[in-house]
């Protein structure tokens, strides 16, 4: 018996279902409330709630504003795993990949923002004496770090370790932890966060 053909209505429903799941997951990944996403995107809280519950059929303008809030384009936001290319490139010039940039440090995500993932990959640039302090992540989370160049001190709870060029370390990230530039020059590290 042949499989039923996909109608335009079925395809639209599938896109709305995927959109609802993606928005909820992306919002959760960033630890945002509906209110916070509403402020960043300019989309009402009630509309966002309807989208996440797969009850809304948002306009292109609303979908664009949500994508922009997450630093994605429309295709990345609505793309399903079946339609995604086997290769995804992140260009060094993509400013949307910069997660944080201030006087202490710049964090650039090297893993695609649109993927649902248990592993995150970052390039962290710390200014001289700059530091990146983090509260405890989910239980079981670990971080793996390699120093590209510079002098770094890792803090995990009460434990510390000093690292130099090309040294690597892994440490618990389910307790308060920090990466501190102990040198007088900019330091660059590659950081992998694994959630369990």
Is residue 95 predicted with pLDDT exceeding 80? no
Distance CA 178, CA 167 (A): 16
Cα torsion through 132, 117, 25, 76, rounded to 10: 100
Residue tagged 């664009």 (tokens): 64
**Per-residue model confidence as pLDDT tens digits over 114-128:** 555 678 899 999 999
pTM: 0.58
- What does the pLDDT average to over 76-104? 70
pLDDT at 156 over 90: yes
Handedness of CA 104, 156, 121, 34 (dihedral sign): negative
User: Domains in the chain, please, with CATH?
Assistant: 8-78 (1.10.260.40), 95-194 (2.60.120.10)
SS3 182: coil
pLDDT at position 117 is: 63
Beta-carbon neighbour count of residue 109 at 10 Å?
19
Taking only the tens place, the pLDDT of each residue in 6-29 is: 454 565 666 777 888 888 888 887
């Amino acid at each position: 018996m042949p499989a039923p053909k996909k109608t335009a209505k079925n395809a639209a429903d599938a896109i709305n279902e995927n959109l609802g799941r993606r928005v909820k997951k992306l919002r959760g990944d960033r630890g945002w409330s509906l209110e916070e996403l509403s402020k960043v995107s300019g989309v009402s809280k009630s509309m966002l709630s309807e989208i996440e519950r797969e009850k809304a059929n948002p306009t292109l303008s609303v979908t664009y504003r949500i994508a922009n809030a997450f630093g994605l384009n429309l295709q990345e936001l609505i793309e399903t795993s079946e339609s995604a290319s086997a290769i995804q490139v992140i260009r060094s010039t993509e400013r949307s990949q910069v997660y944080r940039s201030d006087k202490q440090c710049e964090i650039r995500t090297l893993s695609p923002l649109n993927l649902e993932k248990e592993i995150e990959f970052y390039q962290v640039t710390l200014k001289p004496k700059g530091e990146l302090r983090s509260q405890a992540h989910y239980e079981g989370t670990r971080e793996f770090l390699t120093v590209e160049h510079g002098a770094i001190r890792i803090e995990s709870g009460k434990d510390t370790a000093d690292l130099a060029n090309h040294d690597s370390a892994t440490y618990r990230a389910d307790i308060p932890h920090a990466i501190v530039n102990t040198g007088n020059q900019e330091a660059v590290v590659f950081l992998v966060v694994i959630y369990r």
